[in-house]
Amino acid sequence: MGLAKTISRVELESIQSGMTQFYTPQSSHETILVQIPPHTVEDLFVHRFQTDQLLVVRGSFVLVILQNRQYRYIPLSEHKPQVVTIPRGVVHGAINLSNTPCFVVNAVLRHGAVDPKDYQPRKRPFPYDLQAAGAALKQFESTEYSQLIG
């Protein structure tokens, strides 16, 4: 199965009332606030009984997906509200190269009882390419910035 069929990245729809922007929350069985500390390079996780729906609410980080023995680096930032859905069985990790913590809301969909193995990190089969991760985030933020200023 190809990566495009497993990971989805969707900008949140919103409505505006005055200066306030309202975003549609994600349906979930459980909502978790996750802090990714500065200068974090996490090992990998794979969930057998849950789907993650990630939304960055403060800061930025790079989501790492491992598929077909290759890493894909997906930058996410508070400045562009998007939900990335990671279905069960997809191996993933996180990189925060910044000097500030990143806060992520995970609207978890459960497909069975909580399994402690879902939260045990796995060693990386080969090192992350931190330069590629940083470049992906830099390009994302620069594109994002140019879109913000028009």
Domain borders along the chain are: 25-149
What's residue 37's pLDDT? 98
Per CATH, domain 25-149 is 2.60.120.10: yes
Q: Cα 132–54–82 angle (5° rounding)?
A: 80
3-state SS assignment for residue 138:
helix
pTM (predicted TM-score): 0.85
Between CA 122 and CA 128 the distance in angstroms is 13
pLDDT of residue 144: 56
1-42 pLDDT, tens digit per residue, is 444 447 888 887 778 888 887 877 788 889 999 999 999 999
pLDDT band at 103 (very low <50, low <70, confident <90, very high): very high
Residue 147 has pLDDT above 80, yes or no: no
Instruction: Check residue 135 and give its pLDDT.
Output: 94
